[in-house]
Chain A
Amino acid sequence: MSVSELTPDDEKATAVADSAAPASKRDLNIVFWIFPAFFGVFGIVFVPLLRVIPPPRPDVGYAGMISFFEAHHTTIRIGLVLLCLAFGGAAVANGYVAYQMKRMTSGPVFAYVYMGGMAVGVLPGMLLVAVCFDAASMRLDRAPRVVGFLYDLGMLSFNGSLGCFSTAYLAFAIAILLDRNKIFPKWLAYLTIWQIVTELLATMMWVLPAGPFAWNGSMTFWLGTAIFAIWLNCQGLMLKKATDQQPAGTRPPE
């Protein structure tokens, strides 16, 4: 691995020259700390409130689906309130990762791809399941086949939105591998490739309603979630490192 400067020349070129205020990194730090705060709220919303993680079973029939909403309708509605207020944190996390990617020598293309893929993924991959579960919870007397439709639409959308994230992960991995500014370490790119592998495994949930490859299966869900949790923590920690190493008063090149 070649020795390279942590402060790239092209960043110096775009350092803010005519600033009246002293160079400060307060704006970067504000945005960075929204990342862990948001994913903390995300955990509270999706695990104890919405009950989407761990997932309810796909193979329970209408009676099981109805009893799921009868048991959890109160927390589901609270969960969606919280999510509606806080899910903009996903845009902060995505936008900030894309921002750091723009500091790489690998050019802006993959930064834009990452932002685009993640920004589209917010709706099918995060919001829609909560909306579907809320729609089922607000009227517990809906026809069973309608409840079943909301249950499936929510879970398949949440766990089965594959392409938005695969595209973002691919862009993230390639950009890191080609970057010479060492914004993120190379091992994070290899870890990110495992995220794509889990998305490929998850294709199976669209055809298999039970077993290890169903939406609650050991392969599609548990392996994928374990790798996601490791990856997300690593990305957050490396984002902190990138924030700390960015020289004050600099911005990415155009």
Chain B
Amino acid sequence: MTAGVDDLPRTSNVRTQQMALWTTAVALVILLIAYAAFPGFWPPMSPQLSADQVATFYRAHTAWIRFSMVTFNLCGIMLLPMFGVIVVQMKRMTTQSQVFAYVFLSATVSSSTIFALADIFFATAAFRPNRDPEIVLVLNDLGWLVFVAPVGMALVQNIMLALAIYHDNGAGAIFPRWVGYFSLAVAIAMAPSALSVAFDSGPFAWNGVISFWLRNIAFGTFVVVMLVVLRKTVHQQSVDEGPFQ
């Protein structure tokens, strides 16, 4: 019984998952370029900058900020297909009720809306960099707060994936056991950045080593590792269900 894969012919189900993984892989490469191109990340802007300093920054780097934010806007949510594949694979787990898959999906939708909003705040600040500096400052603040701190949805995603793998302990488990512990470790690495909304300097501030670098590297590592893991998982599904065309 492979509940969850019967809504499409099996061959195309495997093929769509492979296309989803490639979509995310390509989007990830483009996002890394945009990430490298955003002047606000090198180094990440301090919460202690004044309104005039922030406005000057946006005026000096308008073109690169617009380029990176438009690219984030276009490709950020294109990471979503990989998370869709995780949902499909979680629903293939035979030893449980599938409840973790539904919760994972719900958290995935919410976390995507939040990323999309952060991008809009940054991009709006760069749209008219000659605006009143007080307005540029508040848009920049809102962008940083929303970009870094709301990790609660990612925590739920990773904890649900870990719980699902832990409970998928029958023969023919979908994922290797270590993926569950890895997912939990990523959650633990991302959690402290929630503190960034209460700190204006130091490692927990939104530009800090923990809140910014540890969080973003953990998330990036999660996407890369899961792409590799899922590639094998989907391949295994195609082997289990017969060759596909």
Contacts and interface: CB of A to CB of B under 8 A. Distances in A.
Interface of A: 14, 16-21, 25-28, 30-31, 77-78, 80-92, 94-96, 98-99, 102, 115-116, 118-120, 122-123, 127-128, 131-132, 134-135, 138-139, 142-143, 146, 149-150, 246, 249-252, 254
A99 B141 contact: no
Interface in B65-105: 94-100, 102-105
9 contacts: A16-B95, A21-B167, A80-B197, A83-B152, A87-B153, A115-B102, A123-B110, A128-B117, A251-B97
B225 interface: no
Given A77-B198, A80-B149, A96 B134 contact: no
A88 B152 contact: yes
Contact of A21 (B99, B113, B170): B170
Interface of B: 1, 3-4, 6-7, 47, 94-100, 102-107, 109-110, 113-114, 117, 134-135, 137-138, 141-142, 145-146, 149-157, 160, 163-164, 167, 169-171, 191, 194-195, 197-198, 200
Contact of A91 (B99, B110, B137): B110
Contact of A142 (B94, B134, B156): B134
Contacts of B167: 21, 26-27
B153 A92 contact: no
Contacts of B145: 80, 131, 134-135
Contacts of A116: 109
A7 B105 CA distance: 26
Contacts of B135: 146
Nearest to B142: A135
A31 B103 contact: yes
Nearest to B144: A135
Nearest to B164: A27
B198 A96 contact: no
A77 B150 CA distance: 13
B191 to A, nearest CB: 6
A252 to B, nearest CB: 7
A31 B164 CA distance: 11
A138 B142 CA distance: 11
B129 to A, nearest CB: 17
Nearest to A74: B198
A115 B105 contact: yes
Contacts of B152: 83-89
B149 A252 contact: no
Contacts of A88: 107, 110, 152-157
Given A28-B99, A31-B99, A87-B150, A254 B106 contact: no
Contact of B1 (A18, A28, A146): A18
A28 B97 contact: yes
Contact of B156 (A77, A91, A131): A91
Contacts of B104: 95
Given A84-B151, A115-B105, A135-B145, A21 B197 contact: no
List 10 A-B pairs, minimum CB-CB distance, nearest first.
Answer: A88-B156, A95-B106, A20-B170, A95-B103, A91-B107, A84-B194, A119-B109, A88-B152, A87-B152, A99-B102
A19 B170 contact: yes
Given A81-B195, A88-B155, A139-B141, A251 B150 contact: no
Contact of B155 (A85, A95, A127): A85
A26 B97 CA distance: 10
B140 to A, nearest CB: 10
